[in-house]
Structure formats: structure tokens, C-alpha cells
Amino acid sequence: MIIFDWQHELNRKGHRVAISGQPIAMHCHHYNINLQKTLEDTLGDEGVQLLYQSAEETSYHGFQNLFNQYKKIRTIKSKLELAAMLYQNSGLGIIHFQRVRPSGARIESPASHHVTGWLAKHGRRDTPGCHFTRGWIAGTLEAIYSLPCGFYTVDETKCKMKRDDECIFHVQER
């Protein structure tokens, strides 16, 4: 088990909440799903890209910062473990990193905030919809492997928003 003291790392000053010194924004599914729906409906693919890239850049810089603070978290395995724990503890869902290599990865997610939120508000959709998670995965793996932001591309081949059994993500070099 890795050493990460939540009592110490997660704190609040007035209205500001921070994890390891980095301010975070907390939104319920009404906000997050309306944001996604508005971006998709008004901007189409460009809106999807905007969501993806925002999540990618945020997780990239966040994890770079975190790994700089936690020098003892050195191995890829423990970095992946920390990332999955942070994803879950932030309320984003459950993520299983599988077959992770510097050249690519396969990731499964059996439960997620965005899936639950989308299905509650809009029901089943015909296309995969976990754009936030795709971006988050890209940025996280780029930070873990010390690669430039934008190095990977992440596709979602199965999605619970389409009523598939789980969300499956494939990572490869762009």
C-alpha cells in the first residue's frame, strides 16, 4: 500500500478545497453532464475535443505535481495505484489499469460518475460518451511515463452509456 495521507493532503481554507496543495473544483452530475451535453450539442466534435483536452491537461499537470511531491512513489505500478485511488476518491469512478505499457494500454471501468450521471439525465446513448475519462487517462499515463502532454490518444470501444457491460479504453501513441 502506498503512503498517501488523505487527512493531510485533502484540506479546505474557506471555500477553497485542495488536494496536495492543488485547488480542485467539485461539481455534481447535473453540472458535469449539462456541460458535456452543451459542448456536444453546440460544438460537436470540437466540443468533445475541448472536454478531452481539458481533462488531459488537468490530470497531466496534477499528476506531474503530485509525483514531484511524492518522490517515494517511483514504480509504474505504484503510480497507477495512486492514480486509480485518486480517481475513485474524487468520486469519478472505478478504473482498472490493465496491460499498461509505455506504448499503450487497455483500461476497464465498471462504474463511473459520468456514466451514472448521463444515464440518469438522458438515458442510453448510441455513441461512447466518456470523453472526460479518455482525457484523464491520456494525461495520467503521459505524466506517469514522463511523456509530453498529447503523446497518447485514447479511444473508448465499449461504453456503459450505450448499455455495454463496462467502459473499455484503448490507449496508443498518437
Report the 10 Å Cβ neighbour count for 71.
7
Q: Is 92 in the site for Zn ion (CB under 5 A)?
A: no
What single-letter amino acid sits at 76? Answer: I
Q: Is 51 in the site for Zn ion (CB under 5 A)?
A: no
CA dist 112 and 72 (Å) reads 29
Which span sits near Zn ion by CB under 5 A: 46-54, 98-106, 136-144, 159-167?
159-167
Taking the least distance from each CB to Zn ion, the nearer of 61 and 162 is 162
Q: Which of 159, 168, 169, 171 binds Zn ion (CB under 5 A)?
A: 159
Which span sits near Zn ion by CB under 5 A: 10-18, 72-80, 90-98, 151-159?
151-159
Q: Is 167 in the site for Zn ion (CB under 5 A)?
A: yes
Q: Which residues of 8-26 are buried (b: 16+ CB within 10 A; e: fewer)?
A: ebeeeeeeeeebbeeeeee
DSSP, collapsed to helix, strand or coil, labels residue 164 as coil
CA dist 137 and 148 (Å) reads 14
Q: Is 137 in the site for Zn ion (CB under 5 A)?
A: no
Taking the least distance from each CB to Zn ion, the nearer of 101 and 163 is 163
Cβ–Cβ under 8 Å, residues 130 and 109: yes
Q: Is 130 in the site for Zn ion (CB under 5 A)?
A: yes
Taking the least distance from each CB to Zn ion, the nearer of 66 and 84 is 84
Least separation, in Å, of the C-beta of 73 and Zn ion? 28
Instruction: Tell how far CA 35 is from the center of its chain.
Output: 16
Least separation, in Å, of the C-beta of 144 and Zn ion? 21
CA dist 125 and 147 (Å) reads 34
Taking the least distance from each CB to Zn ion, the nearer of 20 and 133 is 133
Applying CB under 5 A, the residues found at the interface with Zn ion are: 130, 159, 167
